[in-house]
Amino acid sequence: MFGLAILAAFAVYVTLLFLAVRWAARRARASGRSPRLWGGAMAAAILLPVFWDWLPTVLVHEYYCRTKTFARVYKSAEQWKAEHPAEAAQIGPVKDLLEVRGTTRRRMLNSRFALDREDWSTALLPVASSTYRIVDTAVGEVVVEANEFAAGHRRMSERPRDWQMPKLWLERDTCGSGVGGLGLELRGYARLDGRSE
């Protein structure tokens, strides 16, 4: 139903755009001015208030995806276990604890390791970044780190402002192929407490 409402609103918008451009071109032709120039100016006046942020969002998202995404495994779970056999035997399970500090959320994987997620977004455009880190909480060492970017108002917050919701054309897929590999290391570190899952 929501999709039909969006399509209906888009159809009305395109119809009004067409009629306004045709009206401006006719008025320009009647007064001896350039119909293309005045029709184009009318189209810009109608399109820009709604679509002004589309091209900058796409460009910024693509730039960040090409230059700022990464995935780094400084030490795998197997390497850490081989280097610290005594500590590995003492790791135990914990309740699923979520701690929030500013823009960073920490979820304990077990009694020794935590998954930190830090989010930030650009000030003007709906482009956001999430950096994931698996941290050895006993010494503060980051053992795995990955970064990804997304665009669109739904991706940036749990409850976007009402006026932003219809801007579905700003949605861009998450980029950062390394975050998928983070899942393997995440399971490895979470299983150090002896759980089979």
With beta carbons less than 8 A apart as the criterion, state whether 57 and 172 touch: yes
How do strand 141-151 and strand 70-73 relate by DSSP bridges? antiparallel
Average pLDDT score over residue span 63-81: 89
User: What pLDDT is stored for residue 197 in this prediction?
Assistant: 47
**pLDDT band at 74; cut points 50, 70, 90:** very high
The residue-averaged pLDDT of 169-196 equals 72
Q: Is the pLDDT of residue 167 over 60?
A: yes
Residue 34 reports pLDDT greater than 50: yes
- Tell me the C-alpha distance between 171 and 17, whole Å: 23
Task: Give CA–CA dist 37/27, Å, rounded.
Answer: 12
Q: Is the dihedral of CA 156, 160, 161, 165 positive or negative?
A: positive
Average pLDDT score over residue span 104-126 = 88
The string of pLDDT tens digits covering residues 58-71 is 999 999 999 988 88
pLDDT over threshold 80, residue 111 = yes
User: How would you write 167-181 as a 3-class SS string?
Assistant: CHHHCEEEECCHHHH
Kindly report the three-state secondary structure assignment for every residue of 85-101. Answer: HHHHHHCCCCCCCEEEE
Rounded to two decimals, the pTM is 0.74
pLDDT over 70, % of the chain: 88
- Compute the average pLDDT of residues 21-31: 92
Question: Which is more confidently placed, 43 or 122?
Answer: 43
pLDDT band at 21, cuts 50/70/90? very high
